[in-house]
Amino acid sequence: MAHEKTLLMVKPDGVKARLTGEVIRRVEMKGLHISAIKKFKFDRHLAEKFYAVHKSKPFFEDLVNFITSGEVVALVVEGEAAVSVVRRLIGPTNASEAPPGTIRGDFANSVQENVVHASDSLSSAEYEIGLLF
Ligand SMILES: Nc1nc2c(ncn2[C@@H]2O[C@H](COP(=O)(O)OP(=O)(O)OP(=O)(O)O)[C@@H](O)[C@H]2O)c(=O)[nH]1
Ligand SMILES: [Mg+2]
């Protein structure tokens, strides 16, 4: 195991539902460290870069519309095995199937509006942090 950096982001639905503090609380309670934080609104150009891996997916247009629909809060999270630990804290993509105790399982019930994003690998973490910070 190693010290890692990952990107965690509260999406527009999470910010509107005032879940930013709850997300931060869970990350800190887990023993991870927040080394940077930023609130902003994606423009289309940045959203298309951020979600470039999904460009060919049928939901790409909806996803870009959603992520540009309001402010987000991006966090750089650091700690032991941070990439996989944060993915486990947020739960599976489809919030309807996410178990209780995970952020998506506790606060969402949709595949698209699922409260948070987190990098799925060290290389995507590097790409996403470089893009947003
Ligand atoms: N409408 C719709 N949106 C989807 C679908 N699959 C994924 N998404 C959205 O696209 C985002 C990115 O998908 P993935 O990267 O596969 O899922 P993920 O890694 O768990 O989610 P992120 O942490 O946000 O990247 C998801 O978080 C959802 O918001 C789908 O089938 N339909
Ligand atoms: Mg993803």
Would you call 33 a catalytic residue per the annotation?
no
User: In the chain, what are the domain boundaries?
Assistant: 3-132
d(CA 14, CA 19): 5
Assess whether the C-beta atom of 94 lies below 6 angstroms from ligand 1: no
Kindly state the average pLDDT of the residues 48-77.
Answer: 98
pLDDT at 1 > cutoff 90? no
Kindly state the average pLDDT of the residues 4-14.
Answer: 98
Kindly state the average pLDDT of the residues 43-50.
Answer: 98
Assess whether the C-beta atom of 96 lies below 6 angstroms from ligand 1: no
pLDDT at 113 > cutoff 90? yes
Is the CATH number 3.40.50.300 carried by domain 3-132?
no
**SS3 call for 108:** coil
Q: Which stretches of 1-121 are DSSP H helices?
A: 12-16, 20-29, 44-50, 60-67, 82-90, 103-107
